[in-house]
Amino acid sequence: MLSQSLRARLLMAPALLWLTAFMVVPCLLILALGFFRRGIYGGVDYTFTFENFRLLADPLYLGIFLHSARVAGTATLIAVVVGYAAAYAIAGAPRRWQGMLLFLAVLPFWSNYLIRTYAWIVLLNREGLITQGLRMLGYEGEPPSMLYTEGAVIVGLVYNYLPFVILACYAPLSRLNPELAEASRDLGAGAFTTFRRVVLPQTLAGVAAGAVFVFVLSIGNFITPALLGGGKFQMVGNLVYAQFLTANDWPFGAALSMVLIAIMMVLLMAQAWGTAKGMGERNG
Amino acid sequence: MVRLGRAALLLAVLGFLYVPIGVLVALSFNESGLATVWTGFSVRWYGALLANADILAAALNTLVVGLISTLVATVLGTALALGIEARARKGRAVEALIFAPMIIPDIVLAIALLSFFSILKVPMGLHTIILAHVVFNLAFVSAVVRARLKTFDWSVTEASGDLGADGFTTFRRVTLPLILPAVIAGALLAFTLSVDEFIIAFFTAGAGRSSTTLPMQIFAMIRFGVTPEINALAALVMAVSVTAVTLAQRLNRGVIAP
Amino acid sequence: MTVLLNIDAVTKRFGAVMAVDRLSLDIYENEFFALLGASGSGKTTLLRMLAGFEMPEEGAIRLDGADVARVPPNKRPVNLMFQSYALFPHMTVEGNIAYGLEMERLGRGEIAARVGEIMEKTQLSALAKRKPDQLSGGQKQRVALARALVKRPRLLLLDEPLGALDKKLRAAMQLELKRLQHEVGITFIVVTHDQEEALVMADRIAILKDGRLVQVGSPHEVYEAPASRYAADFIGVTNFVEDGGRVLAIRPERIALFPEAADRKVEGRVVARAYHGLDLMLHVATAMSAQPLIVRVTAAGADRRPVAEGDMVTIGWNDADVRIFTD
Environment class of residue C182 by beta-carbon count within 10 Å: exposed (0-12), middle (13-18) or buried (19+)? exposed
Domains contained in chain B, number:
2
CA dihedral B129, B135, B136, B139 (to 10 degrees): 160
Of the CA atoms within 13 Å of residue C290, those in its CB half-sphere come to 1
* Residues of chain C neighbouring B160 (CB-CB closer than 8 A): 88, 99
* 3-state secondary structure (DSSP) of residue A125: coil
If asked whether residues C204 and C272 sit together in one domain, one would say no
* Residues of chain C neighbouring B162 (CB-CB closer than 8 A): 51-53, 73-74, 79-80, 148
Query: Which of B162, B169, B178, B183 to substitute to test the interface with C, most C CBs within 10 Å?
Result: B162
Q: C199: Cβ–Cβ under 8 A, 6 or more apart, which residues?
A: C205, C219, C223, C235
Instruction: Please tell me the pTM assigned to this model.
Output: 0.86
**Per-residue model confidence as pLDDT tens for chain C (327 residues):** 799 999 999 999 998 889 999 999 999 999 999 999 998 899 999 999 999 999 999 999 999 999 999 999 999 999 999 999 999 999 999 999 999 999 999 999 999 999 999 999 999 999 999 999 999 999 999 999 999 999 999 999 999 999 878 888 888 889 999 999 999 999 999 999 999 899 999 999 999 999 999 999 999 999 999 999 899 989 888 999 888 788 889 999 999 888 888 898 899 999 998 888 888 899 999 988 888 999 998 877 777 888 889 999 999 999 888 998 886
Which CATH number covers residue A250? 1.10.3720.10
- Evaluate whether residue A226 is within a structural domain: yes
Distance from CA of B182 to the nearest CA of C (A): 14
Angle B2-28/A113-124 helices, nearest 10 degrees? 90
* Residues of chain C neighbouring B159 (CB-CB closer than 8 A): 80, 82, 86-88, 147
- Evaluate whether residue A2 is within a structural domain: no
Distance from CA of B226 to the nearest CA of A (A): 7
- Evaluate whether residue B47 is within a structural domain: no
- The answer to whether the Cβ–Cβ distance between A12 and B79 falls below 8 Å is yes
Q: Can you give the residue range of the structural domain that contains B210?
A: 52-256
pLDDT band for position A209 (cuts 50, 70, 90):
confident
- The answer to whether the Cβ–Cβ distance between B116 and A29 falls below 8 Å is yes
If asked whether residues B212 and B90 sit together in one domain, one would say yes
If asked whether residues B29 and B88 sit together in one domain, one would say no
Nearest by CB: C86 against B156, B169, B173:
B156
Instruction: Give the β-pairing of C312-317 and C264-275.
Output: antiparallel
Distance from CA of B85 to the nearest CA of A (A): 8
Position C8 scores a pLDDT of 95
If asked whether residues B29 and B143 sit together in one domain, one would say no
pLDDT of residue A237 exceeding 50, the answer is: yes
Chain A within 8 Å of B147 (Cβ-Cβ)? Answer: no
If asked whether residues C243 and C225 sit together in one domain, one would say no
- Looking at C229, C254, C271, the residue that finishes a domain is C229
pLDDT band for position A45 (cuts 50, 70, 90):
confident
Among all residues of chain C, which has the CA nearest to that of B178?
C90
If asked whether residues C75 and C154 sit together in one domain, one would say yes
Return the higher-pLDDT residue of B64 and A62. B64
- Looking at C175, C197, C229, the residue that finishes a domain is C229
Backbone angles phi, psi at A165, to 5 degrees: -65, -40
Which CATH number covers residue B169? 1.10.3720.10
Amino acid type, A279 = M
pLDDT of residue A279 exceeding 70, the answer is: no
- Distance, CA of C136 to CA of C144 (rounded, Å): 12
Query: Which of A33, A122, A148 to substitute to test the interface with B, most B CBs within 10 Å?
Result: A122
Distance from CA of B162 to the nearest CA of C (A): 5
Backbone angles phi, psi at B87, to 5 degrees: -85, 140
Q: Which of C17, C10, C30, C321 is nearest to C202 (CA)?
A: C30
- Which residue(s) pair with C296 in the sheet? C281
If asked whether residues C293 and C163 sit together in one domain, one would say no
- Distance, CA of B156 to CA of A26 (rounded, Å): 41
If asked whether residues B30 and B91 sit together in one domain, one would say no
- Distance, CA of A214 to CA of B235 (rounded, Å): 26
Position B256 scores a pLDDT of 81
Domains contained in chain C, number:
2
- The answer to whether the Cβ–Cβ distance between C90 and B155 falls below 8 Å is no
Mean pLDDT of chain A: 86
If asked whether residues B5 and B120 sit together in one domain, one would say no
Chain B within 8 Å of A113 (Cβ-Cβ)? Answer: yes
- Distance, CA of A269 to CA of A250 (rounded, Å): 28
Continuous H helices in chain A: 4-19, 25-33, 51-56, 59-91, 95-106, 113-124, 129-136, 150-175, 178-186, 191-194, 200-219, 223-228, 236-245, 250-283
* 3-state secondary structure (DSSP) of residue C77: coil
* Residues of chain B neighbouring C95 (CB-CB closer than 8 A): none
Position A280 scores a pLDDT of 46
pLDDT digits (tens, 9 = 90+) for B121-176: 999 999 999 999 999 999 999 999 999 998 899 999 999 999 999 989 999 999 99
Please, what is the Cα angle at B53 between B50 and B55, to 5 degrees?
Answer: 70
* 3-state secondary structure (DSSP) of residue C6: strand
Nearest by CB: C84 against B155, B160, B163:
B155
- Would you tell me which residues 215-244 of chain A have a C-beta closer than 8 angstroms to some C-beta of chain B? 216-217, 220-223, 227, 237, 240-241, 244
If asked whether residues C157 and C265 sit together in one domain, one would say no
Which CATH number covers residue C320? 2.40.50.140
Is the separation of the CB atoms in A50 and A35 below 8 Å? yes
- Distance, CA of B255 to CA of B245 (rounded, Å): 9
- Evaluate whether residue A91 is within a structural domain: yes
Position B36 scores a pLDDT of 67
pLDDT digits (tens, 9 = 90+) for A221-235: 989 998 998 877 678
- The answer to whether the Cβ–Cβ distance between A261 and B86 falls below 8 Å is no
Is the separation of the CB atoms in C82 and C47 below 8 Å? no
- Distance, CA of B10 to CA of B112 (rounded, Å): 40
- Evaluate whether residue A21 is within a structural domain: no
pLDDT of residue A282 exceeding 70, the answer is: no
- The answer to whether the Cβ–Cβ distance between B173 and C74 falls below 8 Å is no
- Looking at C194, C229, C264, the residue that finishes a domain is C229
- Would you tell me which residues 198-227 of chain B have a C-beta closer than 8 angstroms to some C-beta of chain A? 198-199, 203, 215, 218-219, 222, 225-226
Is the separation of the CB atoms in B187 and B242 below 8 Å? no
CA dihedral B24, B26, B29, B31 (to 10 degrees): -100
C-alpha torsion sign, points A109, A114, A119, A123: positive
- Evaluate whether residue B76 is within a structural domain: yes
Which stretch, A263-272, A274-283, B2-11, C63-72, has highest mean pLDDT? Answer: C63-72
- Evaluate whether residue B220 is within a structural domain: yes
Which CATH number covers residue C44? 3.40.50.300
* Residues of chain B neighbouring C147 (CB-CB closer than 8 A): 159, 163
Is the separation of the CB atoms in A227 and A118 below 8 Å? yes
- DSSP codes joined into one string, C179-240: HHHHHHT-EEEEEES-HHHHHHH-SEEEEEETTEEEEEE-HHHHHHS-SSHHHHHHSS--EE
Nearest by CB: B162 against C51, C84, C90:
C51
- DSSP codes joined into one string, C119-160: HHHTT-GGGTT--GGGS-HHHHHHHHHHHHHTT--SEEEEES
Position A281 scores a pLDDT of 46
Is the separation of the CB atoms in B76 and B134 below 8 Å? yes
- Distance, CA of B184 to CA of B186 (rounded, Å): 5
- The answer to whether the Cβ–Cβ distance between C89 and B162 falls below 8 Å is no
If asked whether residues C13 and C123 sit together in one domain, one would say yes
If asked whether residues C247 and C166 sit together in one domain, one would say no
pLDDT digits (tens, 9 = 90+) for A7-24: 889 999 999 999 999 999
Position B131 scores a pLDDT of 97
Q: Can you give the residue range of the structural domain that contains A64?
A: 29-37+45-283
C-alpha torsion sign, points A215, A221, A223, A227: positive
- DSSP codes joined into one string, B124-147: PSHHHHHHHHHHHHHHHHHHHHHH
- Evaluate whether residue C234 is within a structural domain: no
- The answer to whether the Cβ–Cβ distance between B159 and C86 falls below 8 Å is yes
Position C287 scores a pLDDT of 87
Position A283 scores a pLDDT of 39
H or E segment to which residue C171 belongs: helix C167-184
If asked whether residues B56 and B37 sit together in one domain, one would say no
**What would the mean pLDDT of B234-257 be, rounded to a whole number?**
91
pLDDT digits (tens, 9 = 90+) for B56-81: 999 999 999 999 999 999 999 999 99
**What would the mean pLDDT of A128-141 be, rounded to a whole number?**
75
If asked whether residues B65 and B155 sit together in one domain, one would say yes
Chain B within 8 Å of A255 (Cβ-Cβ)? Answer: no
Please report, for chain C, how many H helices and E strands are present, in that order. Answer: 9, 18
Domains contained in chain A, number:
1
pLDDT band for position A123 (cuts 50, 70, 90):
confident
Classify the complex by whether its ipTM is higher than 0.90, answering yes or no.
yes
- Would you tell me which residues 73-92 of chain C have a C-beta closer than 8 angstroms to some C-beta of chain B? 73-75, 79-80, 82, 84, 86-90
pLDDT band for position A181 (cuts 50, 70, 90):
confident
Q: Can you give the residue range of the structural domain that contains C297?
A: 239-325
pLDDT of residue B242 exceeding 90, the answer is: yes
If asked whether residues C148 and C267 sit together in one domain, one would say no
- Distance, CA of C225 to CA of C243 (rounded, Å): 19
If asked whether residues B171 and B149 sit together in one domain, one would say yes
